[in-house]
Structure 1
Amino acid sequence: MTTSTPRRPRELRDFYEDPAVPVASGASRSLRQARMLAAALGPADAGARTILDVGCGDGTAAATAAPLLTGHRLIGVDWSQDALKRARAHLTYPIRGELTGAGLPFGTGCADAVLFSEVIEHLVDPDAALDELRRVLRPGGHLMLSTPNLAAWYNRGLLLAGVQPVFSEVSLRGIHGRPGREVVGHLRLYTARALREFVTAAGFRVVRLEGAPFHGVPRPLRALDRLACARASLASILLLHARKT
């Protein structure tokens, strides 16, 4: 199956400033990740914490997390002006910032936690990005990262059949060789093992790795997708909790 669009981005930045490019994640994944973070931080009556939602997109993930993080300060960060305009409907503090180049507009060790939801798969330089996240986190600070799983249960079958895995993309102009229609700009994909090793090498201690379902799975297969979450290595989405060492 091959689809194409008239979009012709001159560079990756142009691609993400296009309002047609999706900037929201699935609600089920956002809720699971928020629960993990709330459990890690504890109630705000023990002291309000600063949480950076880096790559906040349209702010819907933060809006899902907010009721579980009452009393904590949640700051959204994105370098897409279009995404930030939409995020203002959900976030009190939407701020423009970059993970590379000038870096995030925050001091070293200022954050207690970072939400990093469906971002790392879009990055040219994920090593520099994790270095920057580690910089802004205090010692022992929490990293809550989510990303699609290259080895999701259905991708294993697709590869055996010679089909390009779901979530992977070979072009910014259209989908080629795999199911689906939306081009979202995925540059890198991780298995559970690769993600764990990568985050550990970046100076974090992995606390927990869980699975979450993918909202784009066809309805007849969604029950199976939820069952696959019991084993992170087979799940559609990887949810990782790590702490700065």
Structure 2
Amino acid sequence: MTPTAPTAAPPPRELRDFYENPAVPVASGTSRGVRQARMLARALGPATDGTGSRTVLDIGCGDGTAAATAAPFLPGHRVIGVDWSQDALRRARTRIPYAVRGELTGGGLPFASESADAVLFSEVIEHLVDPDAALDEIRRVLRPGGHLMLSTPNLAAWYNRALLLAGVQPVFSEVSLRGIHGRPGKEVVGHLRLYTARALQEFVAVSGFTVVRLEGAPFHGVPRPLRLLDRLACVRPRLASILLLHARRT
């Protein structure tokens, strides 16, 4: 779950401090990263097919896990990590060759308009105060027809539906940055927004993108006895733990 700066004004000092803490989890598991990387590889095609190398931005790269996972699936393409956190960038540079500082504000990404072929946006949108401004900035740097690969936890995951019926706070949702209250789990990860599949697709569509495909991915935090069921739920993305969305800039 890779946070990045969300708004035109800096977030509160306490929130920045929270995201600068290396102990805060920044990914939802290897399976999600691999599935997302395969989606991107299918979309871009090989660099040897006559189209040449493409530029892929991993925006909100955190420690570089998503970009490092994607790189073997994208031979010949250039993957660049982007984050506002200098600590995150130091860690990312141990995994990927390119990592630069940038913010998801108007013009805050250090790239020219229509200069990127694809954007990885892995586990970031749920941390943002202003996701509208973030997608505006992503749309600015993507060329027309460029690919957006977005992943985020699913508010309507199969187990969250059962938890809500029982009056329990859904997994992934948080009411405090200091502790867990009313839901399973032990880790505070700073989620500010959560999406269902329908809400995510509608939001991306009105932000200037055409939704191409929706897939599901499992979540590594599901208890071991339930992991097979969690993988099976991916057949129905609307029930999956993690939503993987492929969209193209219109």
Q: TM-score, normalised by structure 1?
A: 0.95
- Contact 1:146-1:238 within 8 A present in 2 as well: yes
Q: Which residue number in structure 2 is paired with residue 92 of structure 1? A: 97
Q: Which residue number in structure 1 is paired with residue 188 of structure 2? A: 183
RMSD across aligned C-alpha pairs, in angstroms? 1.0
The one-character-per-residue Cα deviations of 1:192-233 (angstroms, maximum 9, x if unpaired) are 000000000000000000100001000000000000000011
Q: How many residues align?
A: 237
1:147 to 145, 152, 177: 152
1:225 to 222, 225, 230: 230
What SS does the corresponding residue of 1:146 show, helix, strand or coil? strand
Q: Indicate yes or no: 2:12 matched with 1:15.
A: no
1:213 to 209, 212, 218: 218
Matches within 5 A, 1:98-177: 98-100=103-105, 103-177=108-182
- Name the stretch that deviates more: 62-71 or 108-117: 62-71
Q: Which residue number in structure 2 is paired with residue 41 of structure 1? A: 44
- Name the stretch that deviates more: 182-191 or 54-63: 54-63
Q: Which residue number in structure 2 is paired with residue 4 of structure 1? A: none
Amino acid aligned to 1:65: A
Q: Which residue number in structure 2 is paired with residue 57 of structure 1? A: 62
Give 1:160 shift: 0.4
Gap regions ≥5 residues in structure 2: 1-11
Identical positions, percent: 84
Q: Which runs of 4+ in 1 moved over 6 A?
A: none
Question: For the residues of structure 1 that align with 2:27 and 2:162, how far apart are their CA atoms?
Answer: 27
The one-character-per-residue Cα deviations of 1:155-213 (angstroms, maximum 9, x if unpaired) are 00000000000000000111100001111100000000000000000000000001000
What SS does the corresponding residue of 1:44 show, helix, strand or coil? coil
Question: For the residues of structure 2 that align with 1:111 and 1:15, how far apart are their CA atoms?
Answer: 30
Give 1:102 shift: 5.2
Question: For the residues of structure 2 that align with 1:117 and 1:234, how far apart are their CA atoms?
Answer: 19
What SS does the corresponding residue of 1:65 show, helix, strand or coil? helix
- Name the stretch that deviates more: 28-37 or 76-85: 76-85
Question: For the residues of structure 1 that align with 2:249 and 2:25, how far apart are their CA atoms?
Answer: 30
Question: For the residues of structure 1 that align with 2:62 and 2:106, how far apart are their CA atoms?
Answer: 19
The one-character-per-residue Cα deviations of 1:44-80 (angstroms, maximum 9, x if unpaired) are 0131000000011111111111111010000000111
Amino acid aligned to 2:182: G
- Contact 2:107-2:137 within 8 A present in 1 as well: no
Gap regions ≥5 residues in structure 1: 1-8
Give 1:23 shift: 2.1
